[in-house]
Amino acid sequence: MTTLVIDYKICNLGSVRRAIESVGGHVMISSQKEEVAAADRVILPGVGSFRQGMENLHQLDLLSCLRKHIEQGKPLLGLCLGMQLLFIEGKEFGSTRGIGLIPGTVERMQGALPIPHVGWNQIAWTRPEKITERIPSQSYFYFVHSYVCWPEREEDILGVTEYGEIFPSVVQRENIWGFQCHPEKSQQPGLTLLANFLKM
Protein backbone atom coordinates (compact mmCIF):
# COMPACT_ATOMS: atom_id res chain seq x y z
CA MET A 1 0.00 0.00 0.00
CA THR A 2 1.51 3.31 -1.11
CA THR A 3 1.34 6.34 1.19
CA LEU A 4 2.24 9.51 -0.68
CA VAL A 5 2.97 12.93 0.82
CA ILE A 6 2.36 15.72 -1.67
CA ASP A 7 5.26 18.13 -2.17
CA TYR A 8 3.65 21.33 -3.37
CA LYS A 9 6.58 23.51 -2.28
CA ILE A 10 4.93 24.79 0.90
CA CYS A 11 5.35 21.76 3.16
CA ASN A 12 7.18 20.47 6.23
CA LEU A 13 8.12 17.26 4.42
CA GLY A 14 11.02 16.03 6.53
CA SER A 15 9.20 15.86 9.84
CA VAL A 16 6.12 14.23 8.24
CA ARG A 17 8.27 11.59 6.57
CA ARG A 18 10.22 10.82 9.75
CA ALA A 19 7.01 10.53 11.80
CA ILE A 20 5.44 8.09 9.35
CA GLU A 21 8.60 6.01 9.13
CA SER A 22 8.85 5.91 12.93
CA VAL A 23 5.49 4.09 13.08
CA GLY A 24 6.55 1.58 10.45
CA GLY A 25 5.14 3.23 7.35
CA HIS A 26 6.79 3.53 3.95
CA VAL A 27 6.26 6.96 2.43
CA MET A 28 6.78 8.45 -1.01
CA ILE A 29 7.14 12.21 -1.49
CA SER A 30 6.12 13.55 -4.88
CA SER A 31 4.52 16.40 -6.79
CA GLN A 32 3.94 14.31 -9.93
CA LYS A 33 0.25 13.95 -10.65
CA GLU A 34 0.70 10.42 -12.07
CA GLU A 35 2.21 9.26 -8.78
CA VAL A 36 -0.42 11.06 -6.73
CA ALA A 37 -3.14 9.40 -8.81
CA ALA A 38 -1.60 5.95 -8.28
CA ALA A 39 -1.15 6.26 -4.50
CA ASP A 40 -3.35 4.26 -2.11
CA ARG A 41 -3.31 7.00 0.57
CA VAL A 42 -2.42 10.67 0.24
CA ILE A 43 -1.29 13.18 2.86
CA LEU A 44 -1.53 16.90 2.11
CA PRO A 45 0.65 18.75 4.66
CA GLY A 46 1.50 22.44 4.55
CA VAL A 47 2.63 25.62 6.22
CA GLY A 48 1.97 29.14 5.03
CA SER A 49 -0.84 30.98 3.29
CA PHE A 50 -4.02 29.56 1.78
CA ARG A 51 -3.58 31.56 -1.42
CA GLN A 52 0.00 30.41 -2.03
CA GLY A 53 -0.94 26.82 -1.31
CA MET A 54 -3.74 26.87 -3.89
CA GLU A 55 -1.56 28.62 -6.46
CA ASN A 56 1.07 25.91 -6.10
CA LEU A 57 -1.48 23.10 -6.41
CA HIS A 58 -2.86 24.74 -9.57
CA GLN A 59 0.61 25.13 -11.07
CA LEU A 60 1.34 21.45 -10.43
CA ASP A 61 -2.05 20.48 -11.93
CA LEU A 62 -2.91 18.38 -8.87
CA LEU A 63 -6.52 19.39 -8.20
CA SER A 64 -8.21 16.99 -10.59
CA CYS A 65 -6.22 13.96 -9.41
CA LEU A 66 -6.95 14.83 -5.76
CA ARG A 67 -10.67 14.95 -6.52
CA LYS A 68 -10.42 11.67 -8.44
CA HIS A 69 -8.55 10.12 -5.48
CA ILE A 70 -11.53 10.95 -3.26
CA GLU A 71 -14.08 9.74 -5.81
CA GLN A 72 -12.27 6.37 -5.84
CA GLY A 73 -12.76 6.07 -2.07
CA LYS A 74 -9.07 6.35 -1.20
CA PRO A 75 -8.05 7.98 2.13
CA LEU A 76 -6.86 11.61 2.16
CA LEU A 77 -5.38 13.33 5.21
CA GLY A 78 -4.88 17.11 5.36
CA LEU A 79 -2.54 18.56 8.01
CA CYS A 80 -2.58 22.22 9.14
CA LEU A 81 -2.72 24.27 5.90
CA GLY A 82 -3.45 21.00 4.10
CA MET A 83 -6.67 20.69 6.12
CA GLN A 84 -7.67 24.27 5.30
CA LEU A 85 -7.19 23.76 1.56
CA LEU A 86 -9.79 20.98 1.61
CA PHE A 87 -12.52 23.61 2.12
CA ILE A 88 -14.45 25.64 -0.44
CA GLU A 89 -13.06 29.09 0.40
CA GLY A 90 -10.20 30.66 2.33
CA LYS A 91 -10.38 34.26 3.50
CA GLU A 92 -6.68 34.96 4.00
CA PHE A 93 -5.50 37.95 1.90
CA GLY A 94 -8.95 38.19 0.35
CA SER A 95 -11.08 35.32 -0.89
CA THR A 96 -9.45 32.27 -2.52
CA ARG A 97 -11.19 29.19 -3.86
CA GLY A 98 -10.04 25.98 -2.14
CA ILE A 99 -10.08 22.38 -3.37
CA GLY A 100 -13.75 22.24 -2.37
CA LEU A 101 -13.92 18.74 -0.89
CA ILE A 102 -15.57 19.89 2.36
CA PRO A 103 -18.30 22.57 2.37
CA GLY A 104 -17.26 25.49 4.54
CA THR A 105 -14.87 28.42 4.88
CA VAL A 106 -11.50 29.19 6.45
CA GLU A 107 -11.46 32.40 8.49
CA ARG A 108 -9.09 34.27 10.81
CA MET A 109 -9.20 33.25 14.46
CA GLN A 110 -11.17 35.43 16.89
CA GLY A 111 -10.80 36.16 20.59
CA ALA A 112 -8.51 38.01 22.96
CA LEU A 113 -5.60 35.53 22.98
CA PRO A 114 -2.45 36.11 20.89
CA ILE A 115 -2.58 35.14 17.22
CA PRO A 116 -1.05 33.04 15.75
CA HIS A 117 -2.00 30.20 18.05
CA VAL A 118 1.34 28.50 18.73
CA GLY A 119 1.91 25.64 21.14
CA TRP A 120 0.25 22.67 22.80
CA ASN A 121 -3.51 22.47 23.15
CA GLN A 122 -6.15 19.83 23.70
CA ILE A 123 -8.48 18.23 21.19
CA ALA A 124 -11.83 16.83 22.33
CA TRP A 125 -13.34 14.22 20.01
CA THR A 126 -17.00 14.67 19.09
CA ARG A 127 -17.53 10.97 18.28
CA PRO A 128 -15.56 7.73 17.96
CA GLU A 129 -13.60 7.29 14.74
CA LYS A 130 -10.96 4.80 13.60
CA ILE A 131 -8.33 7.49 13.08
CA THR A 132 -8.57 8.52 16.75
CA GLU A 133 -8.48 5.00 18.24
CA ARG A 134 -6.17 4.67 21.28
CA ILE A 135 -5.96 8.49 21.58
CA PRO A 136 -7.90 9.76 24.62
CA SER A 137 -10.16 12.76 24.17
CA GLN A 138 -8.50 15.95 25.50
CA SER A 139 -5.05 14.74 24.40
CA TYR A 140 -2.54 17.49 23.66
CA PHE A 141 -1.37 18.27 20.12
CA TYR A 142 0.96 20.93 18.72
CA PHE A 143 -0.60 23.86 16.81
CA VAL A 144 0.76 26.73 14.69
CA HIS A 145 -1.98 28.67 12.86
CA SER A 146 -3.92 31.93 12.57
CA TYR A 147 -6.93 30.68 10.59
CA VAL A 148 -9.56 28.05 11.40
CA CYS A 149 -11.99 25.93 9.37
CA TRP A 150 -15.73 26.26 9.76
CA PRO A 151 -17.58 23.36 8.11
CA GLU A 152 -21.15 24.00 6.95
CA ARG A 153 -22.23 20.63 8.36
CA GLU A 154 -21.80 19.97 12.07
CA GLU A 155 -21.46 16.24 11.34
CA ASP A 156 -18.18 16.95 9.51
CA ILE A 157 -16.58 18.05 12.81
CA LEU A 158 -14.61 15.26 14.50
CA GLY A 159 -12.76 17.29 17.15
CA VAL A 160 -12.77 20.74 18.77
CA THR A 161 -10.18 22.87 20.55
CA GLU A 162 -10.50 25.96 22.73
CA TYR A 163 -8.16 28.92 22.18
CA GLY A 164 -9.90 32.25 22.60
CA GLU A 165 -12.91 30.51 21.06
CA ILE A 166 -13.99 26.93 20.55
CA PHE A 167 -13.11 25.98 16.99
CA PRO A 168 -13.23 22.80 14.86
CA SER A 169 -9.71 21.38 14.93
CA VAL A 170 -10.46 18.01 13.29
CA VAL A 171 -12.81 17.24 10.42
CA GLN A 172 -13.91 14.03 8.74
CA ARG A 173 -16.13 13.55 5.71
CA GLU A 174 -16.33 10.05 4.25
CA ASN A 175 -12.72 9.18 3.25
CA ILE A 176 -11.33 12.65 4.03
CA TRP A 177 -9.70 13.64 7.34
CA GLY A 178 -8.23 16.99 8.34
CA PHE A 179 -6.24 17.98 11.42
CA GLN A 180 -5.46 21.63 12.17
CA CYS A 181 -2.59 20.55 14.44
CA HIS A 182 0.77 19.07 13.42
CA PRO A 183 0.58 15.35 14.33
CA GLU A 184 4.18 14.89 13.18
CA LYS A 185 5.27 17.25 16.00
CA SER A 186 2.79 16.02 18.62
CA GLN A 187 4.74 13.15 20.19
CA GLN A 188 2.83 9.94 20.97
CA PRO A 189 -0.75 11.13 20.25
CA GLY A 190 0.35 12.39 16.84
CA LEU A 191 2.27 9.23 16.03
CA THR A 192 -0.73 7.10 17.02
CA LEU A 193 -2.93 9.20 14.74
CA LEU A 194 -0.57 8.66 11.79
CA ALA A 195 -0.34 4.94 12.55
CA ASN A 196 -4.15 4.76 12.52
CA PHE A 197 -4.23 6.53 9.14
CA LEU A 198 -1.82 3.96 7.71
CA LYS A 199 -4.41 1.28 8.50
CA MET A 200 -7.10 2.96 6.42
- Does 165 participate in catalysis according to the annotation? no
- Does 129 participate in catalysis according to the annotation? no
Q: Which of 80, 117, 145, 149 is catalytic?
A: 80
- Does 184 participate in catalysis according to the annotation? yes
| 154: number of Cβ within 10 Å | 8
Supply the residues annotated as catalytic: 80, 182, 184
